[in-house]
Structure 1
Amino acid sequence: MPIGPNATASPNKSAILSIILISYVMIVLDISVVLTGLPKIHQELGFTDASLAWVQSAYTLTFGGLLLLGARAGDLLGRRRMFIVGMAIFTLASIAIGASQSSAWMLSWRAIQGLGSAVLAPSTLALLQTNFDEGEERVRAVSLYSAAAGVSATVGLIVGGLLADWLSWRVGFLINLPIGVAMILAARVYIPETNRRPGTFDIPGAITSTMGMSTLVYGFIRSAQSGWDGITIVTLIAAAVLLAAFVQIEWRAKQPILPLRLFSDIERSGAYAARVLYLGAMVGFFFFTTLYLQEVAGFRPAVTGLAFVPATMLHVPIAILVPRLIRRFGRNTILIVGMIIGIVAMAWLSRAGVGSGYWTAVALPMVLIGISQGLTLSPLTSSGVARVARDDAGAASGAVNVAHQMGSSVGLSILIAVAAIGSAGLSGADLTAYRVSRAFDAGTVLVVLALLIALMTIVPAARRQDVNQTEPAPVKSAA
């Protein structure tokens, strides 16, 4: 029997949380599951070395570029409805990718899969916000949500490597069919529909944001392949113009897909910026460590996947403990400690080179990476949706996810560009080791910048909020 919109029974909330977490795991898993299988995909589908990067970028760019439109669709058409639509698109695209016989077919369906994720992802976080009360209940739910994101990224690498070696990289996509169908049916039974809001879609905003982000990523990736020539510079200038046009459109739009009022709160603004920088470094960790393990250390795909286990050993228990740690030490302390640990881990990884031992050069800093993600992502997510009016829940969740995907795509493209600087004349394992080391140096800088932003924006705002919470918090009016 479907549950009504005002249902709040604990068993129903458990079911809702399970559906949200499983669905979000599917999204993040498909970002990383292909990485350890890239050599097999390269061979089977005839990708060139340059075009292989688009296996990842085709997904993350449509995902990140259309997230805001997907969030808006949830506000206007109902978040449960868009959850189901997004899951259906994602599942269909997964089957098509698993059946790919050419590089063009795969890239086309990876882009469509990104569209499905763009509709699905903001619906998951918005449904979490609207079904779990602000306070300890929502902190626990957000902590599990953040843990699911971090763990599934690493699990995707492990599963992808094992499947590529033992069965086929295609299985990682085909398995989404039964899971996707189950989530659609469960959503119809357990998740209450949200109220629809009258309004229109901000198509100009969606077009300029998607084109701006895509052009920006293309420019940085091209710089790594062709250098900083005239075309690269023009591309980056065009990206800046498109993104500036997007901001101008949102400023004037009556119903923008990204309400600029979200950035009126310094804590939320700082959380979005810090998330972009932090995720850029963390996605760089997965991408470049995979290259190092296979091309420098000589690991097979399956062994490469298993080599990421140290990154997950403490991530899950730390993420689960975050609500308790926040109650004891405060959100500021947990966030800052998590980022500092991330800085140490990235700097440690940058020392790995040809002949370095796995356990001392890779495994131990991996453990710190897992701890850092477990401590950092939940406070960043909470700050990204702090004090948001209920009507803006979808837009705020979209902004959090856009920041996440911008870090995944734009951040990674910046690391790729930095890694290529000064690598002329090197080849083979020496070339890969050099690029990996430079990328981790740049990743260290990104996390340092994220920490500085947190200290200047999130920490002061959160302290003021802690003081205000000594009294009952007033209900924020949507008016």
Structure 2
Amino acid sequence: MSRSTMATAPPSAGPRWVLPLLASTQFVLILDAAIVIVAMPSMARDLGFTPSGLSWVANAYVLLFGGFLLLGGRVGDLIGRRRTFILGVLVFAAASLAGALAQEPLWLVAARAGQGLAAAFVSPSALALLLVSLAEGPERNRALGVWGAVGATGGAVGGLVGGTLTEWLGWASVLYVNVPIGLAVASLAPRVLPTGDRGTVDSGKFDVAGAMTITAGIGAGIYAVVDADDAGWGSMQTLCLLAAAASLLAMFVIVEKRAKNPLVPLGVFADRGFTVANGVAVLNTMAMFPTFFLLTLYLQAVLGFTPLQAGLGFLPLSLALLVGTLNGSRAVQRFGARTTMATAVATTAVGLAWFGFLSAGGSVLADVIGPSILTGLGAGVAWTASSIAATGGSSERDAGLRSGVLIASQQVGGAIGLGAIVAVAASVSGAATEPATYAYGLGAGMWTAAAVAAVAAALTLWLAPSATAAWHAPSDVHENEGGSTTASRTRRTSGS
């Protein structure tokens, strides 16, 4: 049996600053997935990227971020979340500085990979620290609403921030900006974050086989999707990578069933709320992440906007996401998790379908602002509701695990959606450069995203009709001597 070393964390030196510190850090991590998109043409011009190589400025970050999230979350549980958070933030700042100083393509891609790797350890540790710092109930739900708001708006305003910095200060500024932020966060963290977090088990009992198989499996799957546009969806490379990913993930399940101290105790998936919420998180981000990219192309390639104007074009979507995420916890408390998630993702699907009517002669009001508001409100509420359902009942022992699984679901969904839905748009528009055909292809991508959101709405029906925000499941994952796991689940209910 493992030896627990974690004592109850005493109050931090500045408890009211825990949420602002952790939420602002998450904002930067999500922002960095999108901030470079509008700066990429300048990077290509200055560093000599090929068209296919340029995509890896974004892909390297997504690949490492998504691939190592589960490992990052569990490492925080094992060696201490505050320690993992601070070290990760420092590595993130160092990788950002290295990227800003890049003189050749491979240098910049390697730095972006370093950023993604560091983010994979920082993000789940930050959410876990937030969960264990607040009692379950309205206070935690409101905090998760703020957390969802900064995550959703971070992705949405990335284009605006990136466009502004690139136009005024050059592309390196989108990376330089992370350095002072990272140093400030790392210096404040010891004063603000809870102390007494020293990990939960002996490091010698770490599940190395599980960590290797899940990280390699997720990484192979993400790589297969993000590179499929260049290699071809039916190419030997893509098919072999997908087969390898499936095999590694199947091997991971076998390893976890036999492990005495599993990386991901499989009993946690016995909680229907946790499982459905993560499924919705995958599909919600699968639909939304490529929407930012497709909308950027529409604003710049079809309507002729400058990078800064395109960034401003994202404001309606950003504000709607902010309003939705901040009010999501209130909706869950009033209507229940199932009703809230189902309504929210259905609204998202309608908004994305509206985007499907993009045209070369469209107006900003009808083709951008209207669907942006509808899509943003729905996606924002869904983001918060799924976060509440997935993390409800988190304990000191499994907060990092649940956080890692949730954020991994979001990142993997975003990566798959970006690769697959952009491929649909490209296949419809082909090599055409005329605005009408190009806009038609982008619209096809939006229709595909709407279909994904509709599937998410259907998935919510698997939740119990009376499910609310509070999923007490399992308060701890109990491990028997044979290495298998069992979980008990209770939940608070209210009529929905």
TM-score (ref. length: structure 2): 0.89
Q: Which residue of 1 aligns with 2:103?
A: 101
Aligned to 1:417: 423
1:205-244 deviations in Å (ceiling 9; x for gaps): 3332233223223333444334323333233222222222
Q: What secondary structure, in the 3-state scheme, does the structure 1 residue paired with 2:358 have?
A: coil
Higher mean Cα deviation, 415-424 or 38-47? 415-424
Please tell me whether residue 311 in structure 1 is matched to residue 313 in structure 2.
no
Q: In structure 2, which of residues 462, 466, 469 is the aligned counterpart of residue 463 of structure 1? A: 466
Residues 28/167 of structure 1: CA separation in 2 closer, same or farther (3 Å cut): same
Alignment partner, residue 64 of structure 1: 66
The separation in 2 between residues aligned to 1:474 and 1:298, in whole angstroms, is 51
1:382 paired residue number:
388
Q: Counterpart in 2 of 1:215?
A: 220
How far does residue 127 in structure 1 lie from its aligned partner after superposition?
0.3
Confirm or deny: 8 A CA contact 1:314 1:370 kept in the other structure. yes
What residue number does 2:25 align with?
A: 23
1:127 to 126, 129, 148: 129
Q: What are the superposed Cα offsets for residues 265-286 of structure 1, whole Å, 9 maximum, x if unpaired? A: 1111111111111101110111
Contact 2:394 2:474 in 1 (8 A): no
Q: SS of the residue aligned with 2:206?
A: coil
What amino acid is the match of 1:179?
Answer: I
Cα distance, 1:477–1:354 mapped onto 2, change above 3 Å = closer
In structure 2, the partner of 1:448 is 454
The 8 Å contact of residues 338 and 376 in structure 1, kept in 2 or not, is answered as: yes
Residue deviations 1:97-122 (CA, integer Å, cap 9, x gap): 11111110011011111111011001
Task: Report how far residue 295 of structure 1 moved.
Answer: 1.2
Describe the SS at the equivalent of 1:390: coil
- Residue 180 of structure 1 corresponds to 182
Give the aligned residue type for 2:41. P
Q: For 1:257-276, what aligned pairs fall within 5 Å after superposition?
A: 257-276=263-282
Select the structure that is richer in helix. Answer: 1
Aligned to 2:335: 329
**1:144 alignment partner in structure 2:** 146
Is residue 403 from structure 1 mapped to residue 403 from structure 2 by the alignment?
no
Counterpart in the other structure of 1:166 = 168
Q: Is the 8 A contact 1:202 1:253 kept in 2?
A: yes
Structure 2 residue runs without a partner (length 5+): 1-6, 479-496
Counterpart amino acid of residue 356 in structure 2: S
3-state secondary structure, aligned to 2:242: helix
Shift of 1:425: 5.5
| 1:431 CA drift (Å) | 5.3
Q: 2:3 corresponds to which residue?
A: none
Preserved CA contact (<8 Å) 1:88 1:180: yes
Name the stretch that deviates more: 190-199 or 214-223: 214-223
Hey, what's the Cα distance between the residues in 1 that align with 2:24 and 2:335?
30
Q: d(CA) in 2 for partners of 1:5 and 1:89?
A: 28
After superposition, the C-alpha distances for 1:357-397 in whole angstroms (9 at most, x for unaligned) are 22211121111122112211111001111233431111110
Tell me how far apart the structure 1 counterparts of residues 438 and 135 of structure 2 sit (CA, whole Å): 48
* Identical aligned residues as a percent: 33
- Alignment map for 1:23-102 (pairs within 5 Å): 23-102=25-104
Counterpart residue type for residue 167 of structure 2: D
Q: Structure 1 residues 204 and 305, CA, compared in 2 at 3 Å: closer, same or farther? A: same
Structure 1 residue 465 displacement after superposition: 5.7
- Aligned partners of 1:406 and 1:87: how far apart in 2? 22
1:438 aligns to what? 444
Contact 2:70–2:215 (CA<8 Å) still a contact in 1? no
> Cα deviations across residues 162-187 of structure 1 (Å, max 9, x unaligned)?
11112212212111122111111111
Residues 132, 304 of structure 1: CA spacing in aligned structure 2 closer, same or farther, 3 A cutoff?
A: same
2:242 is the counterpart of 1:236:
yes
**1:196 has 2:202 as partner:** no
Q: Is the 8 A contact 1:71 1:397 kept in 2?
A: yes
Corresponding position of 1:224: 229
Mark the CA change 1:51 to 1:153 in structure 2 (over 3 Å): closer, same or farther.
same
> For residues 455 and 175 of structure 2, what CA distance do their matches in structure 1 show?
36
Which blocks of at least 5 consecutive residues in structure 1 are unaligned? none
Alpha carbons 2:320, 2:372 under 8 Å: kept: no
Using a 3 Å threshold, how does the CA distance of structure 1 residues 77 and 348 change in structure 2: closer, same or farther?
A: same
Within a 5 Å distance, the mapping from 1:236-255 to structure 2 comes to: 236-255=242-261
Q: TM-score, length-normalised on structure 1?
A: 0.92
Distance 1:414 1:475, change over 3 A: closer
Count residues in correspondence: 468
1:273-316 deviation per Cα after TM superposition (whole angstroms, max 9, x unaligned):
11111101110111111111111111111111011011123332
Shift of 1:419: 2.6
Change (3 A) 1:111 1:477: closer
Distance 1:326 1:88 in 2: 36
Mark the CA change 1:188 to 1:5 in structure 2 (over 3 Å): closer, same or farther.
Answer: farther
Q: How many Å apart are 1:136 and its aligned residue?
A: 0.8
- Structure 2 CA distance for aligned equivalents of residues 383 and 465 of structure 1: 8
Secondary structure, counterpart of 1:139 in structure 2? helix
Q: Is the 8 A contact 2:332 2:468 kept in 1?
A: no
Tell me the alpha carbon deviations over residues 425-457 of structure 1, each in whole angstroms, 9 at most, x when there is no partner.
Answer: 633545532431221111111101111111223
How does 1:357-368 map onto structure 2 within 5 Å?
357-368=363-374
Determine helix, strand or coil for the equivalent of 1:35.
Answer: coil
SS of the residue 1:255 aligns to: coil
State how far apart, in whole Å, the 2-side matches of 1:160 and 1:477 are: 42
Q: Is the 8 A contact 1:291 1:432 kept in 2?
A: no
